[in-house]
Amino acid sequence: MSGDEPRRRRGRRPGHSGSRDAILAAARAAFARDAYAGASLRAIARDADVDPALISHYFGSKAGLFIAATDWPFDPDEGHRATLAGGRDDVGRRLAEFFFGTWSVPEKRISVLGLLQTAFTDPTVAAMLREFFVDEVFEPLLTRLGADQVALRSGLLASQLHGVILSRYVLDLLSQEAFDDATVIDAIAPTLQRYAVGPLTG
């Protein structure tokens, strides 16, 4: 494993699994303290006593570090590719399909459900989720689509998808027993399509 890791620097931990764990622990503390946008990779490296290059080496990016630190269930880049693969007219359906592809797997729901519950009473966790959804999930997608009113469209997309989380996986309204994923995808795809690139007034 050590062969593809950065050289050891004076006074810092060498690149072994202990340093990966130290980075994750420091990242969790930083995200809990400074939310997502405010967390600094440099400070995380310092707290973990590693070279900042080791974070890139292990996790690629701040988003990659967040995904590993929170056990996040999907990679936004993968979501963007899947959502855009059918072209502009198929964005709503592809986004719904990608969403259900992730959320239909029970063990993938645990981390986000726990964070969402905590967000009701912890403003820093709410900010962390908001910043990750905006900065890494919805705004990059909408920017690639050349959409206007990106902040409003981000919030609207989030509202429909978060509503499915709450209704289907928490309250058991729109229940999995009664309605299969395809039925819900059919119903919400036109909503997501309009929120992404359609008219925002009735």
Among 82, 84, 163, 197, indicate the residue that binds its own copies (CB under 8 A).
163
Query: Does 187 contact its own copies by CB under 8 A?
Result: yes
Query: Does 1 contact its own copies by CB under 8 A?
Result: no
CB of 60 to its own copies, least distance (A): 25
Among 25, 108, 167, 197, indicate the residue that binds its own copies (CB under 8 A).
167
Query: Does 89 contact its own copies by CB under 8 A?
Result: no
Q: Which stretch binds its own copies (CB under 8 A): 32-40, 41-49, 68-76, 117-125?
A: 117-125
Longest Cα–Cα distance in the chain: 63
Q: Which stretch binds its own copies (CB under 8 A): 9-17, 53-61, 73-81, 120-128?
A: 120-128
Q: Which residues bind its own copies (CB under 8 A)?
A: 92-93, 113-114, 116-117, 119-121, 126-127, 129-130, 133-134, 151-152, 154-156, 158-168, 170-175, 178-179, 183-184, 186-191, 193-195, 200-202
